Amino acid sequence: MDPRPIGVFDSGLGGLTALRELHALLPGEDLVYFGDTGRVPYGSRGEAVITRYAREDAAFLLGQGVKAVVCACGTVSSVAGALLAREMDCPFVEVVTPAAKAAARATKNGRVGVIATAATTRSGKFPQALRDMDPGIWVRSLACPLFVPLVENGHIAPGDPLATPAVAHYLRPLREEGVDTLILGCTHYPLLAPLIRDYLGDGVALISSGREAALAARERLREEGLLSPRQEGGDCRYFVTDAAGSFASVAEVFLGEPVGRVTPVDISGLEKLELKKE
Ligand code: DGL
C-alpha cells in the first residue's frame, strides 16, 4: 500500500482521457496532472526535441513525489517511452502496448486502423506492436495533424463546424478500407470520439489509448502492491506550462466537473535532472 499520488502527463489536454479513467477506476488515489500547454503540440516535432520535453515532464512529476508515472501521450510513448522506462526507477506506464493489446482483442475481421500524430505515425510503434501480437492483423496507420489543435481550442462538440469536416477528411480512407477497430493513438483524440463515432458508425470499435493506459496502470500498481489504502476521496492537482485558464475551461467540459486551481509552472532545464535516484 502506498498513499503517494500517481503522476500523469501529456503535452496538453489529451492525458485527461487517462486521468478521467484512472479516477473512475481508483477513486481513492491522489493524482497529479501535468500538461505541457506552453509547448503543445509535440506530434509535429522531431525525436530529439520530443525526448528532451519528455525527460523534463517526467522530472517535474518525480519532483512532486509521485509513486508512478503514466505517460498519457502517444507521441512520447512512441518516441521516448523505452528510454523513460529504462531511466526511471518508479513504475512507468505508456500507451502503445496497452492500446495495441486491446485492439488485437477487439478486432473480428483483422483490419485495424491507427490514427495518431505525425511523430507517432512515423515511429511505426503501433503497427509493430499489433503485428508482434498477431502477424495476421492488417494495419492502416494515419496521421491527423489538425486534431490536436482542434481539441486544444475546444472544438470537441458533436457537429462542430471545424472538427466535423476534419474528421471526415482524415477518416475517409479507413471507412473505405473496412477497418472494424480503430486505435485513437493520440490521447487527445478520444475527446473527438463522439464525432468519430458519428462518422464511422457503431460497427467500428474505438480504442482509447488513454483509457487502456489507465487500466494498465491499475494492473501494474496492484501487482507491485502500490495501490492507495484509501477507497475514495482521492484528489487531483493540475499543473501546466501556459494558458491555465483555457486549459481549465476545456478540461471542465471534458471532465464534466470543476478542476479547481490549475497551477502554471516553468520546467525548463529539468531535463538535466537524473530521473533515477541513486
Ligand atoms: N496527446 C499527445 C499524443 O498522445 C500529444 C499530441 C501533440 O502534442 O501533438 O500524442
Question: What pLDDT, in 10s, does the model give residues 96-137?
Answer: 999 999 999 999 999 999 999 999 999 999 999 999 999 999
Confidence bin at 273 (pLDDT 50/70/90): low
Half-sphere exposure in the Cβ direction for 107 (13 Å, CA): 25
User: In this structure, are 117 and 255 located in the same domain?
Assistant: no
Range of the domain at 83: 6-94+211-272
Closest approach atom of ligand 1 to CA 15: 1
Look at residue 272 in the predicted model and tell me its pLDDT: 65
Q: Report CA(43)–ligand 1 centroid distance (Å).
A: 6
- Of 181, 209, 237, the residue that ends a domain is 209
**Cα pseudo-dihedral 118, 122, 126, 127, rounded to 10:** 130
Residues 205 and 101 in one domain: yes
Share of the chain above pLDDT 70, in %: 97
How many A from CA of 40 to the centre of ligand 1? 8
Q: Considering the domain boundaries, does residue 55 fall inside one? A: yes
- Number of structural domains (the chain) is 2
Q: Is 74 in the pocket of ligand 1 (CB under 6 A)?
A: yes
Same domain, 51 and 100: no
Q: Which of these three, 167, 193, 209, is where a domain ends?
A: 209
Looking at the fold, whether 104 and 23 belong to one and the same domain comes out as no
| Within a domain: 278 | no
**In terms of domains, do 196 and 258 share one?**
no
- Residues whose CB falls within 8 Å of the CB of residue 145, separated by 6 or more in sequence, listed in order: 41, 43, 44, 117, 118
Kindly state whether residues 22 and 118 are assigned to the same domain.
no
Q: Is there a single domain that holds both residue 195 and residue 169?
A: yes
Q: Are residues 267 and 250 in the same domain?
A: yes
CB 81 within 8 A of CB 96: yes
186 burial level (CB within 10 Å; 0-12, 13-18, 19+): buried
Ligand 1, atom nearest to 43 Cα: 9
Give yes or no for residue 236 CB within 6 A of ligand 1.
Answer: no
Task: Name the active-site residue from 71, 73, 90, 144.
Answer: 73
Last residue of a domain, one of 185, 209, 233: 209
Q: What is the pLDDT of residues 227-270, one digit of tens each?
A: 999 999 999 999 999 999 999 998 998 888 899 889 999 998 77
Residues comprising the chain, all counted: 278
Query: What are 184-224's pLDDT values in tens digits?
Result: 999 999 999 999 999 999 999 999 999 999 999 999 999 99
Q: Is the domain of 205 the same as that of 216?
A: no
236 is catalytic: no
Q: With a 6 A CB cut-off, is 200 part of the ligand 1 pocket? A: no
- Over range 138-155, report the average pLDDT: 95
Q: What is the CATH number of the domain that holds 28?
A: 3.40.50.1860
pLDDT on residue 190:
94
Cis peptide bond upstream of 41, omega within 30: yes
Judge if 85 and 219 occupy the same domain. Answer: yes
Residue 188 Cα to ligand 1 midpoint, Å, equals: 6
pLDDT at 269: 74
Report the pLDDT value the prediction gives residue 208, as an integer from 0 to 100. Answer: 97
C-alpha–C-alpha distance, residues 240 and 37, integer Å? 6
Phi, psi (deg, nearest 5) at residue 44: -95, 5
What separation in Å is there between the alpha carbon of 13 and the centre of ligand 1?
9
Within this chain, do residues 116 and 175 fall inside the same structural domain, yes or no? yes
Question: Is 204 found in the same domain as 116?
Answer: yes
Give the residue whose CA is nearest to atom 2 of ligand 1.
73
Buried b (16+ CB within 10 A) or exposed e, 191-201: bbbebbeebbe
